A and B are shown apart, each in its own frame.
Chain A
Amino acid sequence: MKALVSIKRVVDYNVKVRVKSDGTGVETANVKMSMNPFDEIAVEEALRLREAGTVTEVVAVSCGPLACQETLRTALALGADRAILVQTDEELQPLAVSKLLKAVADKEAPQIFIVGKQAIDDDSNQTGQMLAALTGWSQATFASKLKIADGKAEVTREVDGGLATIRISLPAIITTDLRLNEPRYVTLPNIMKAKKKPLDTLTPEALGVDVKPRLKTLKVVEPSKRKAGAKVADAAALVDKLRNEAKVI
């Protein structure tokens, strides 16, 4: 069984993000970039399935500029068998990414496609769901537990009221939540091995996908600064302020 995992290159979670002075987006020049943490969880889950003998090959896919190669190398260093970059300098929106991933899925025919539930840059939380719609495969989003047996996937999902466990048929799209697993460290020998693993490059044109943005970003602004808090003497004063000043109770 083959597993595909999608990887997005995002601004590192430790970086304090700054809005560009012209308000068109966030500053990414000279900023540390890393793998989207939810995608790291996706890679880890695929690797665990491989180590358990369920999956035989793990392929990492990324869509974006040439620099995404570096992020794919990290996926290879974590243990993925090979990688595919769909290279484009166009701005990619979730629908475009979903279409590209579908095209790759058509070529690769995986039984399971693990996707981070969202990327920490735009927080869209759309790609996995749209990919399921486009492929027509079953989907299980926000997975916190995954078991595969007899051609079915049993997935525990984190939903608003608690946990829901569903069984879906394969092939399937799984999107990862934070508690699915704790990704391993990249080990030094695997970093060395990753340099020799295959990394193929495709283009949206070769896959026949139109990636033109359908949405237009009007303006990006910094969040407004938080005002200083106030200390209250006792609970009664707090209730009074919440009722009469903040008007929330």
Chain B
Amino acid sequence: MIRDSIRKIAQEHFKPGAAAADREYRPPVENIKVLADNGFAGVAIPEEYGGLGLGVFELMLIMEEVSRACANTAMLMGGTGGGPTPRVIAAVGTDALKKKFLPKMAKGELFAAWSMSEPNAGSDVGNVQTKAIRDGNEYVINGSKMWCSGAQLADVFLVLVRLDPTPGMKGVGAIMIERGTPGFEVGKHLDLIGLHATGMAPLYFEDCRVPAENVIIPAGGMRKLFEILDDDRVVGNPSICLGVASAALEDALAYTRERKQFGRALTEFQGLQWKLADMAIDLEAGRTLLYAAARKAAAGQLTPMDASVAKVYVNEMSQRVTNSAIQVCGAYGLSNEFPFERYYRDVRGFAIGYGTTEIHRNSIAREMILGNYKP
């Protein structure tokens, strides 16, 4: 019922504007209102803060269906009650922070962004250089952040900073910073290959003073954060890939049924039939892996290996499927009059965001070598 409902909403409201949002680099914020009006903004926020407290599996289904219609909307949804920031606040935040942010996020009134990467610290989180130095009841923040999705519209940012001079991961923590705090500036839109409408930008901090109670993860608490992120690796990034790949196959199938060459529909050519079948096999394999991981996550049994296996496979599957969708549609697949090239561009970044597929292969191998995996 959840899937039926969100599919109907997403197909009727989000799909028609998806191409324009991409073309015009305009975040479809109006879609967030539609989600909020229908109760889909506060999915992961606990009930006592006005959310629904739904589990990982439902959240994944919702993200998949939203992405099937518009990947940019799904990315923005990450800034509402379904994204990583509220989940972190709910899991480790102080009561004051929870009360301040969660109820508004549950209503879709407060948009939260999440900022981890820096110009010199992507996968290497231990190398975070943005400094927060304690001064009385405040922290003074200096440095800059990169690739922050939703930055241009966010009201509040969860920012990874070095709270303690200890080198490496031990000195890194996280602090909540509100838009408009003096000394904090959001940079120009960063134009990437796809996901043009997420308002992605760098963040700059120059003697930005933030109250000490805004610290959400103290220095050295990153392990806790990564535990929360393991679930999030299932919910966010690969579910968007799965949704976009599903849309690509659905649209490619519709196109090849209609399109005639040499007097026959494309679907009558066996070469193309096999290609479509391979796309479906790949897609369904990815879906099965991701659903299995989401079920485990919902039961609290997700291992880092499960999350990495699902993420890597689904990321790469979505590249293959969207690429094949372009191929079977020929020149129309390349044209921006059709959605196929956008699907291809939109999924590309997911193999880099939230841990590159290489980093995830490292952790898969580590688990294997440690003996935590029996084939």
Question: Which residues does A use to contact B, with CB under 8 Å?
Answer: 34, 70, 73-74, 77, 185-192, 194
Known: A185-B8, A186-B4, A188-B52. 6 other contacts (CB 8 A): A77-B1, A77-B5, A186-B5, A188-B39, A188-B43, A189-B52
> Mask for B1-37, Cβ within 8 A of A = 1, else 0?
1101110110000000000000000000000000001
Indicate which residue in B6, B37, B52 contacts A192 across the interface (CB closer than 8 Å): B52
> Which residue from B4, B39, B54 sits with its C-beta under 8 Å from A187?
B39
Partner of B38, one of A34, A185, A192, A194: A185
Q: Which residue of chain A is the closest to B41 with respect to CB atoms? A: A188
By the criterion CB–CB under 8 Å, are B2 and A191 in contact?
yes
A189–B6 Cα gap in the complex (Å)?
12
Nearest chain B CB to A187 CB, angstrom units: 4
Complex-state Cα separation, A110 to B4, whole angstroms: 31
* Interface size range of chain B in the complex: 10 to 19
- Residue ID in chain B nearest A77 by CB atoms: B1
Partner of B39, one of A34, A74, A190: A190
B40 contacts the other chain (CB 8 A):
yes
Q: Is there an interface contact between B38 and A187, defined as CB atoms closer than 8 Å?
A: yes
Complex: chain B residue closest to A188, CB-CB = B39
Dominant SS at the A interface? helix
CA of A55 to CA of B333, assembled, Å? 53
Task: Report 17 cross-chain contacts, Cβ distance below 8 Å, ordered by A residue.
Answer: A73-B1, A74-B1, A77-B1, A185-B8, A185-B38, A186-B1, A186-B4, A187-B39, A187-B40, A188-B6, A188-B38, A188-B39, A188-B52, A189-B39, A189-B52, A190-B39, A191-B1
Nearest CB in chain B to that of A78: its residue = B5
A185 with B1: CB separation less than 8 A: no
CB distance B9 to A185 under 8 Å? Answer: yes
CB contacts (< 8 Å) of A185 on chain B: these are: 5, 8-9, 38
Give the docked Cα–Cα distance between A212 and B39 (Å): 44
B2 proximity list for chain A (CB < 8 A): 188, 191
What's the nearest-Cβ distance from chain B to residue A207, in Å? 28
CA distance A187 to B2 in the complex (A): 8
Instruction: Find the A residue at minimum CB distance from B50.
Output: A189
Give B178 Cβ to nearest chain A Cβ, in Å.
28
**Separation of A34 and B4 alpha carbons in the complex (Å):** 10
Name the CB-closest residue of B to A192.
B52
**Chain B residue nearest in CB terms to A194:** B1
Chain A contacts of B9 at CB under 8 A?
185
- What distance in Å separates the Cβ of A68 from its nearest Cβ neighbour in chain B? 14
Q: What is the distance, in angstroms, from A47's C-beta to the closest C-beta of chain B?
A: 15
- B1 contacts A187, C-beta separation under 8 Å: no
The distance in angstroms between the C-alpha atoms of A189 and B50, with both chains bound, is 10
Complex alpha-carbon distance, A194 and B6, angstroms: 16
B319-363 with Cβ < 8 A to chain A: none
Provide the residues of chain B in CB contact with A189, threshold 8 Å.
Answer: 39, 52
Chain B residues with Cβ below 8 Å from A74 are 1
A60 to B8, CA, bound (A): 22
* Complexed CA–CA distance, A77 and B4 (Å): 12
**A74 CA to B5 CA, complexed, in Å:** 10
Closest residue of chain A to B35 (Cβ to Cβ) is: A188
CA–CA, A173 and B39, complex, Å: 33
- Would you give the 0/1 interface string for B211-255, flagging 1 where the beta carbon is closer than 8 Å to chain A? 000000000000000000000000000000000000000000000
Which residues of chain A come closer than 8 Å to B43, judged between CB atoms? 188
B4, A188: Cβ atoms under 8 Å? no
Measured between beta carbons, the chain A residues less than 8 angstroms from B8 are: 185
Min Cβ gap A189→B in Å is: 4
Which of A74, A190, A192 has the most chain B CB within a 10 Å cutoff?
A192
**Distance in Å from the Cβ of A188 to the closest Cβ of chain B?**
4
**Cα of A73 to Cα of B1 in the assembled complex, Å:** 9
The list of the 4 closest CB pairs from A to B, nearest first, reads A188-B39, A187-B39, A186-B5, A189-B39
Expressed in whole angstroms, the Cα–Cα distance for A190 and B54 within the complex equals: 13
A77–B8 Cα gap in the complex (Å)?
A: 15
Residues of A within 8 A of B52 (CB): 188-189, 192
Residue from B1, B9, B38 with most neighbouring chain A CB atoms (10 Å): B1
Which of A73, A77, A188, A194: most chain B Cβ within 10 A? A188
For B4, what are the chain A residues with a Cβ–Cβ distance below 8 Å?
34, 186
Closest chain-A Cβ to B15's Cβ sits at a distance in Å of 15
CB-CB < 8 A to A191: which residues of B? 1-2, 5
The answer for the CA separation of A241 and B6 in the assembled complex, in Å, is 49
